[in-house]
Amino acid sequence: MEVRKVAVIGAGLMGHGIAQVAAQVAKFEVSLRDVKQEFLDNGMSMINGSLQRFLKKGTMTENEVKEVLGRIHPTLDLKEAVADADLIIEAVPEIPKLKKDTLSEVDKLAKPEAILASNTSSISITELASATNRPEKFCGMHFFNPPQLMKLIEIIRGAKTSDETINAIVEVTKKMDKEPVVVKKDCAGFIVNRILVPALNEAISLVWEGIADPKDIDTAIKLGLNWPMGPITLVDYLGLDTTLSISEVLRDDLDPKYSPCPLLRQMVRAGLLGRKTGKGFYDWTQR
C-alpha cells in the first residue's frame, strides 16, 4: 500500500516535528490532532517557528513555507483526522495506558488497510499492538528529537508485525529523507535507548556521588568520547521525566541493573525536568 495521507496523534514536543517532516520533506497531506485547541495552536506555532528558521537560513522560500503549512491540517476531531489516513503515527505522552486507550480508539475509526505506528521510545510494541485489532499492521516508528533535524528512525517489529508493514514504513522513512534501522525483535529501549539511558543514568550517578560537576562530566564525554553534547546537557534536553520513565521500563522489562539513580527520581519529584521547565541540572532561564 502506498502512503499518501498521514495522521499524527499528538501535537507536542515530538508530534509537531513528525507532522512537519511528513509535510515538508515527504510532501504528505497531514492531519495533526490533539485534545485541546491550545495544544494544537502551540504545535502549529512551533512548526511555523521551525520553518521560519529554514527560511532565514535560505534553505526554504516563502512560497515553500506556505505550501508546507497548507499541507498540515490541525483538528480536535479524531475521526476526521484518521478517517482517510494511510498511516497513523501516535505521538502522545509516554504513558502505557494513555497510548493503549488512544490506539484502541484510532483502530476503530481508521480504515481497515491503514497502518498504525507508535513513536514510543521504550514501551513494548507487542503490548501496544494488543490494544488494536490489527497487530500485523502495527509497528514502532521511533523518531529522535528534534525530528526536523535528526536523521534516524528506529522501526520496531512487534510479535505479529508483517513484513509488508515493515517494508511500507521503511519506504515512508526514506521519503522523509531519514535513515531507517529495523529492530528485528521487540525489546525494551530498542537499540538507542538501551545503550544511551544506562550511560545517562551513570553520568547522573557521578553527580549524585559527588565525583564531578555536571559541566566537567559533559566536557569529559564530549572530548573523550566525541559526543556532540555532554550526557548531563542531553538529559536536560530529553527531559528528566522522560529519562526516568525509560529507565523504569528497562528495569521492569529487562534487568534491575537499569534502576534509575535516586538523584534522577528526586529531581523529577521536585519538578526540575530540564529545559522544558527552565531548570534541571542547568539553569535554562537565562539562555
Segments making up each domain of the chain, as ranges: 5-183, 194-277
State the burial class of residue 27 (Cβ atoms within 10 Å of its Cβ: 0-12, 13-18, 19+): middle
Contact 131, 108 (CB under 8 A): no
pLDDT of amino acid 146 = 87
Q: Measuring CA to CA, which residue among 173, 150, 149, 179 is closest to residue 53?
A: 149
Length of the chain: 287
The dotted CATH code for 194-277 is 1.10.1040.10
DSSP string, 23-49: HHTS--EEEEE-SSHHHHHHHHHHHHH
pLDDT of amino acid 65 = 96
Q: Is residue 119 annotated as part of the catalytic site, yes or no?
A: no
Out of 154, 201, 245, 247, the active site residue is 154
Contact 238, 145 (CB under 8 A): yes
Interval 38-66: pLDDT, tens = 999 999 999 999 999 999 999 999 999 99
Q: For strand 179-183 and strand 138-143, is the pairing parallel, antiparallel, or unpaired? A: unpaired
Q: Is residue 16 annotated as part of the catalytic site, yes or no?
A: no
Bridge partners (DSSP) listed for residue 72: 30
DSSP string, 109-163: HS-TT-EEEE--SSS-HHHHHTTSS-GGGEEEEEE-SSTTT--EEEEEE-TT--H
Q: Is residue 154 annotated as part of the catalytic site, yes or no?
A: yes
Contact 235, 268 (CB under 8 A): no
Q: How confident is the model at residue 188 (pLDDT cuts 50, 70, 90)?
A: confident
- CATH class (in words) of the domain with range 5-183: alpha beta
Whole-angstrom distance, CA of residue 15 vs CA of residue 21: 10
Whole-angstrom distance, CA of residue 216 vs CA of residue 219: 5
pLDDT of amino acid 145 = 84
- Comparing 215 with 94, which gets the higher pLDDT? 215
Out of 118, 119, 193, 201, the active site residue is 193
Query: How high does pLDDT run on average in the chain?
Result: 96
Interval 98-144: pLDDT, tens = 999 999 999 999 999 999 999 998 889 999 999 999 999 999 999 99
Question: Which 8-state DSSP code applies to residue 275?
Answer: G
Q: Is residue 121 annotated as part of the catalytic site, yes or no?
A: yes
Out of 118, 142, 201, 245, the active site residue is 142
Bridge partners (DSSP) listed for residue 181: 154
Q: How confident is the model at residue 156 (pLDDT cuts 50, 70, 90)?
A: very high
How does 139-151 read in b/e, with b if 16+ C-beta sit within 10 Å? Answer: bbbbbbebbbeee
Give the angle 234-238-240 at the CA atoms, nearest 5°. Answer: 95
pLDDT of amino acid 167 = 96
Interval 209-227: pLDDT, tens = 999 999 999 999 999 999 9
Q: Measuring CA to CA, which residue among 28, 27, 30, 32 is closest to residue 15?
A: 32
The single-letter code of the amino acid at 189 is G
Give the three cell numbers for residue 157: 517489529
Q: How confident is the model at residue 256 (pLDDT cuts 50, 70, 90)?
A: very high
Out of 50, 118, 121, 124, the active site residue is 121
